[in-house]
Amino acid sequence: MFLKRQLPFVITLITSLILIISYFSPHPTISPLRSIFQDWYMIIVAFTMFVGILSLVKVSIKKIKREKGIEVLYPVITLVSLIVMAFFGFLKGGLDNPGFDFMFEYIMVPLQATMFSLLAFYIASASFRAFRAKSTMATILLITAFIVMLGRVPIGEWITGDLLHFTESSFLSRFHIPNVTEWIMNVINMAGQRAILIGAALGVMGTSIKIMLGIERSHLGGE
Amino acid sequence: MIELSLTQAIGYTIGGFLTLCIFSFLYKDNPLYKFAEHLFVGTSAAYWFVTFYHNIIRPNVINQFKEGNYWPIIPVILGIFMLFRLVPSLSVLSRMGIAFSVGVMAGYQIIRHLETNILRQMGATMQGFDKISFTAGNIGNAINTILILLVVIAGLVYFFFSVEHEGAVGGVAKFGMWMLMITFGATFGYTVMARISLLIGRVLYLKEQWWLSIKYLLGI
């Protein structure tokens, strides 16, 4: 019970208190603790990465034993690519090793970029559902998103520029679509994001205090 | 015209093939997509593993030990405890590493959020008021400054659930909700455009680098 509950709680409380005190204290012994603890945290995170790798290997081996036919091939691909890329990474040159660099530039980067670009198609279908003006709120969202998108493509510039000549009048130029987009992004959007940021920050601080005091224990399995 | 080396030509050809493998998912889940997906998982895991070793473990642990600083033994022990998560009988030890990491993050987040996301954001919201002016030519800026403050306050009132949203508070909260809807609309539109530009980037990759590489390899 001591190892399961009390000791982890004491470790959490002491480390978080030291970190807070070290921020406010200029004392030469306490002040550097902030960066030392952050380095230590990163070392532990690096080990958790290793836990993840071991877990991936374990799951892949299980799959190889369980699956049949072409399905066996996929976990093999995961393991082989993992071993080959890690092998190059630990050779001379490390991150700059030509083999590692080749795999990063011509395999990982195209795969990652294409995975994210695939979202363009799904976001298009999400837009179709979100952009149905069912209520006032949905209509506001629709109009804003439409203006922002229009303001970032040449046709937006063309409609109120070459077609309607809004740019020729100092008053009407305020309603030139790219200018409206810029205003939305820099005034309403920025202020809205700020409200969300402040609200979220208060939430994070509240949760952090609950963790420090041992009220929130879900990271220890809720015990 | 881009000059290609043999390595680049082979690399771009592989990259183009993998790009098409991922795009094949738009038709339906298929072996080519699964191949690319598993390759991505393997290479990404290896990339982060190697990066963490070279950027964190080597400078902060191995080099420190070589220089005679043995303090990093503490996080190393806590890190090794984390590995026991995979051994059920010893998994309780992993709680020490988790407790330390959560403690560091809790202490760090209180300071970071207080400083960056609360004080600085509040400061930036009120910054324009010291030079606010309603003279001709400055009215637009003055209105924007006031509007930013109003939107921030209304947005925060909308998130404040300790008071019931009725009467004046309800009105302000409703205004806040409208403004947040504009924010979400703008963010959504911006995200759509970002994804579309990524897609354009991939299509250009196929059209330029990949096509050129194929021609190079075929000697056309």
Per residue in A71-106, pLDDT (tens digit) is 999 999 999 999 999 999 999 999 999 999 999 999
Task: Say whether B181 and A82 touch across the interface (CB within 8 A).
Answer: no
Task: Give the SS3 label for residue B164.
Answer: coil
User: Using the beta-carbon criterion (under 8 Å), do A118 and B25 form an inter-chain contact?
Assistant: yes
Q: Å from A164 to nearest chain B CA?
A: 23
State residue A57's pLDDT score. Answer: 96
Min mean pLDDT across A148-152, A218-222, B122-126 is at: A218-222
DSSP helix/strand/coil, A97: coil
State the average pLDDT over residues A20-39: 89
Checking if the pLDDT of A223 tops 70, the result is: no
Q: Could you tell me if B109 lies within 8 Å of chain A, comparing CB atoms? A: yes
Contact B155 A192 (CB under 8 A): yes
- Is residue B25 within 8 Å of B33, Cβ to Cβ? yes
Q: B142 touching A, CB under 8 A?
A: no
In contact, A80 and A68? CB cutoff 8 Å: no
* CB pair distance less than 8 Å for B12 and A9: no
pLDDT of residue B123: 93
In the structure, what pLDDT confidence band is assigned to residue A222 with cuts at 50, 70 and 90? low
Q: A167-217, pLDDT tens digit by residue?
A: 887 788 889 999 999 999 999 999 999 999 999 999 999 999 999 999 988
State the Cα–Cα distance between residues A200 and B112, nearest whole angstrom: 12
The whole-chain average pLDDT of chain A stands at: 91
Return the ∠ at Cα B93 (arms to A13 and B79), rounded to 5°. 80
CA distance A64 to chain B (A): 13
In our burial notation (b when 16+ CB lie closer than 10 A, e otherwise), range A77-92 reads bbbebbebbbebbbee
**Which of B5, B113, B119, B125 best tests the A interface by mutation, with the highest count of A CBs <10 A?**
B113
pLDDT score, position A123: 84
Write out chain A residues lying below 8 Å of B99, CB-based.
Answer: 7-9, 11-12, 15, 220
pLDDT at B113: 94
A116-128 pLDDT tens trace: 999 888 887 887 7
The tens digit of pLDDT for each residue in B88-116 reads 888 899 999 999 999 999 999 999 999 99
Are the beta carbons of A12 and B103 closer than 8 angstroms?
A: yes
Q: Output the pLDDT for position B1.
A: 59
Q: How far apart are CA B120 and CA B21, in angstroms?
A: 46
Which residues of chain B are under the pLDDT cut of 50? Answer: none
- Tell the residue number behind the tokens 């002491």, with chain if given: A14
Chain A residues inside the 8 Å CB shell of B61: 43
Q: What is the torsion angle, in degrees rounded to the nearest 10, for the CA atoms of residue A41, residue A42, residue A48 and residue A53?
A: 180
Quote the pTM value. Answer: 0.84
B110 Cα distance to chain centroid: 20
